[in-house]
Amino acid sequence: MSAPLSLEDIRVLKSLTQWWDQAGVDVLVPLPEERPRRSEPRREAAPSEPRSAPAARATPQAARAAGYGAPAPSGEDARAAAAKADTLDALKAALEAYDGCPLKVTATQLVFARGQPTARVMGGGEAPGREEDIAGAPFVGRSGQLLDRMLAAIGLGPEDAYITNVVFWRPPGNRKPTDAEIAACRPFAERHIGLVKPEFLVFAGGIAAQSMLRVNDGITALRGRWGEFTPDGGAPIPALPVYHPAFLLRRPQEKARAWQDLLSLKARLDGQDA
């Protein structure tokens, strides 16, 4: 039996968990170096020990069981699964069934899209945050509220845009998605655009713009410059990278540039070449 915790142990644990909470850490996942090496014998639970951790949203055991360290489906499998979907409902169902993105293990749920799929404008952000993970809808937290105000400023209401992300599950602690996580979701994000076929695309932030436009420039260089995204078998769609609203919340002095970009979108919507 392990020794009871001292008051000092409890104090240290409390301050550690408070610090994790403030840093946004709400789930523990195994890092690659924490996984047992092949030559290490597997540690079996002693008969008196519980075989699995008490029910938790995600545990290292659950993470391993659900695919960490197991070969992920190849990009080809993901592309084939995405291509087979010929409606948005089918694409959502294909994502629900897809185990190729490890973020699925730690996230609460899939975050697919919100808004009107027949809208002229489709907006794509990076990945869901905490509020989106809980609500199951993209851009519902503070940055989403700013995004809505930005769109409203050029006359676009909630039904005038269709909003999604290029990564469909929340990265733990709201960290940036890795290249592998972005690549695992990319076939679905691309098919998403191909099914919606908006008149205009807006990519919020560097990660969304870089991954969909397949460029390496930072958002400061990309923002306000129209590019194009061509879905498989479809026609090119004009695409505008803009600053991410979360960045604008941290750097309100950049809102003037964001406003210029919104005016450029408005000019295109009004049929003017901007």
Strands (E) located in 138-187: 161-165
Give the position of tokens 């409390």.
Answer: 14
Nearer to ligand URA, 59 or 209 (CB): 209
State the burial class of residue 138 (Cβ atoms within 10 Å of its Cβ: 0-12, 13-18, 19+): buried
Give the position of tokens 């937290």.
Answer: 141
Nearer to ligand URA, 68 or 185 (CB): 185
Q: How far is the CB of 164 from ligand URA (least distance, A)?
A: 8
Q: How far is the CB of 87 from ligand URA (least distance, A)?
A: 22
Number of residues that bind ligand URA (CB under 6 A): 13
Give the position of tokens 């199951």.
Answer: 136
Nearer to ligand URA, 128 or 187 (CB): 128
* Three-class secondary structure of residue 122 per DSSP: strand
125, 171, 177, 198: which one binds ligand URA (CB under 6 A): 125
Judged by CB under 6 A, the chain residues 219 through 248 that form the site for ligand URA are 246
Q: Compute CA distances 204 → 42, 163, 208, 223, whole Å.
A: 45, 10, 6, 9
Q: How far is the CB of 79 from ligand URA (least distance, A)?
A: 23
Q: How far is the CB of 165 from ligand URA (least distance, A)?
A: 5
How is residue 59 written in tokens?
């545990």
Judged by CB under 6 A, the chain residues 126 through 165 that form the site for ligand URA are 126-129, 132, 138-139, 141, 143-144, 165
Q: How far is the CB of 204 from ligand URA (least distance, A)?
A: 6
- Bridge partners, 113 (sequence order): 164
Backbone angles phi, psi at 100, to 5 degrees: -85, -10
| Residue least distant from ligand URA (Cβ) | 125
Nearer to ligand URA, 126 or 190 (CB): 126
How is residue 152 written in tokens?
């409203």
Contacts for 224 with CB less than 8 Å, ≥ 6 apart = 240, 241, 242, 257, 260, 261, 264
Nearer to ligand URA, 249 or 267 (CB): 249
Q: Which amino acid makes up residue 241?
A: P
Q: Is 181 in the site for ligand URA (CB under 6 A)?
A: no
Nearer to ligand URA, 68 or 139 (CB): 139
Q: How far is the CB of 215 from ligand URA (least distance, A)?
A: 18
* Three-class secondary structure of residue 113 per DSSP: strand
How is residue 123 written in tokens?
């907006």
Interface positions with ligand URA (CB under 6 A): 125-129, 132, 138-139, 141, 143-144, 165, 246
